[in-house]
Amino acid sequence: MKKKALYPGSFDPITYGHLDIIKRSSEIFDELTIAIVDNPDKNPLFSIEERKKLIKKVVQVDNVTIDTFSGLLVQYAADNSFQTIIRGLRAVSDFDYEFQMSLTNRRLGNNIDTIFFMTDEKYSYLSSSIVKQVCRYGGDISSFVPDEVSSALKGRLK
Ligand code: PNS
């Protein structure tokens, strides 16, 4: 049976930190689905379709597919027969929230498991929010996001 996993997130926008997790997890699982959450409450900079297009441009891995979802993650997982969620952990500060989410998802989602990848140390400080902030004030974001994402950010924030 093929081992498949779900990598959910806001990806507003995708960064090198996300790409590192995608590369490493797609080498372990037979199929990886990147699931972009459609959550207007978070007031994303990019629409869900824009985020999807950006991810498509920068992720070209055979066993990785990109999808979107709204509502509960565990519902999406059940509807699509996923039993494993992937998340990245950057620092201790991520732990509380991730631990809470993983236990809640386990309770709600038929014992669905979350597997955590420790982010590569070069990306341990990186987040989509920081990248947006640096870009907004004209800082150099070339080491944080691929060129396609950088252009989209500059276009949106100018
Ligand atoms: O990239 P993010 O913003 O850290 O991702 C958070 C995400 C999308 C994984 C989380 O907000 C989520 O699962 N949202 C869907 C709604 C849901 O299921 N909430 C309960 C999780 S405990």
Model confidence pLDDT, tens digit, residues 82-123? 999 999 999 888 999 999 999 999 999 999 999 999 999 999
Phi, psi of 3 (to 5 degrees): -90, 115
How many Å lie between the centroid of ligand 1 and the Cα of residue 139? 29
Q: Structural domains in the chain?
A: 4-124 (3.40.50.620)
Nearest CA, atom 6, ligand 1: 9
138: left (phi over 0), alpha (psi -120 to 50) or beta: left
Side-chain-side CA neighbours of 138 within 13 Å: the count stands at 0
How many Å lie between the centroid of ligand 1 and the Cα of residue 140? 29
Is 126 exposed, middle or buried, given 0-12, 13-18 or 19+ CB atoms closer than 10 A? buried
pTM above 0.85, yes or no: yes
Model confidence pLDDT, tens digit, residues 30-89? 999 999 999 988 899 999 999 999 999 999 899 999 999 999 999 999 999 999 999 999
- Identify whether 87 is a catalytic site residue: no
Choosing from 22, 51, 95, 101 the residue with most ligand 1 atoms within 8 A of its CB, the one to mutate for a pocket test is 101
